[in-house]
Amino acid sequence: MLQVDLNCDMGEGFGVYRTSPDSELMKYITSANIACGFHAGDAATIRRTVKLALEHGVAIGAHPGLPDLAGFGRRVMGITPEEAYEMTVYQLGAVQAFAKSEGGAVAHVKPHGALYNMAAGNRQLADAIAEAVYKVDPSLLLFGLAGSELIHAGKAIGLHTINEVFADRTYESDGSLTPRGAAGAVIADAGRAAEQAVNMIKNGEVLTRKQSRLILKAETVCVHGDTPGALEHVKQLREALEAEGIAVKKAGKEA
């Protein structure tokens, strides 16, 4: 039986600000990537999101990003591999502490935004992030863009890697995500996003923005919590997966 993990970026507010309906989204996903305080999130938000994940039986993940609240971690910054390592350790530690204090544990790490995309193509940054995760806890899963340098770096150091695909984003011919500033980068139509995800899981391919076929491996599917209509996206995606007989299970769990 085909199976896939369904993940969503969560806890991406701070103070009184909220970016997504986390309590509702939790009902449909299997893994939550929790903002660690750099691109979004704060102590109260991390704790609240960890508790929500535990209540719904959703896997807890750390979602480390660049230190850029104003840009939501989506602006490229010139950082060294050493800085990437330190940022990852620091942020992972924050979510780990809250997970442990609430009786849970972190299951995976997925970099956020610009850091994620930078590590997808830069092997030195990818190695630094993978090393940080491995040294904190080698049993953690590392989520990365399918077939990217982050996946290769994680495998090389001995981590269990999870190839991630995106329901609500378009792809370039080199396997990268279409930059958010480009037309058509985000798929706003929930039905189209679900159709793309099903095709990636069943057929191992996606049609790029320029209409070429891209072969990829889909082990977890992401829906961004801050995408307009995110709740409708994740509902339709879950329904489409189940209609196609695709089991929705936590990453790393066998069907």
Residue 117 structure tokens: 């995309």
The pLDDT tens digits of the residues spanning 128-138 come to 999 999 999 99
Residue 89 structure tokens: 């350790």
How large is the average pLDDT for residues 31-36?
A: 98
Give CA–CA dist 37/41, Å, rounded: 4
Statement: residue 251 has pLDDT above 70? yes
The pLDDT tens digits of the residues spanning 105-116 come to 999 999 999 999
Statement: residue 217 has pLDDT above 80? yes
The number of beta carbons lying within 10 Å of the beta carbon of residue 193 is 26
Q: Is the pTM of this model over 0.85?
A: yes
Helix intervals (H) in 102-203: 113-121, 123-136, 149-157, 190-203
Model pLDDT, residue 255: 46
Average pLDDT, the chain: 95
Model pLDDT, residue 20: 77
Model pLDDT, residue 253: 64
Per-residue pLDDT band for 193 (boundaries 50, 70, 90) equals very high
Among candidates 235, 241, 186, which has minimal Cα distance to 218? 241
How much of the chain exceeds pLDDT 70, in percent? Answer: 99
* φ, ψ for residue 114, nearest 5 deg: -60, -35
Residue 182 structure tokens: 């480009």
Among candidates 12, 29, 26, 14, which has minimal Cα distance to 65? 12
The pLDDT tens digits of the residues spanning 91-109 come to 999 999 999 999 999 999 9
Model pLDDT, residue 254: 59
Which DSSP string corresponds to 62-117?
Answer: EE---S-TTTTT-S-----HHHHHHHHHHHHHHHHHHHHHTT--EEEE---HHHHH
Burial 130-157 (b: 16+ CB within 10 A, else e): bbbbbebeeebbbbbbbbbbbbebbeeb
What domains, with CATH codes, occur in the chain?
Answer: 3-248 (3.20.20.370)
Asked if 4 and 240 touch (Cβ cutoff 8 Å), the reply is no
How large is the average pLDDT for residues 31-49?
A: 97
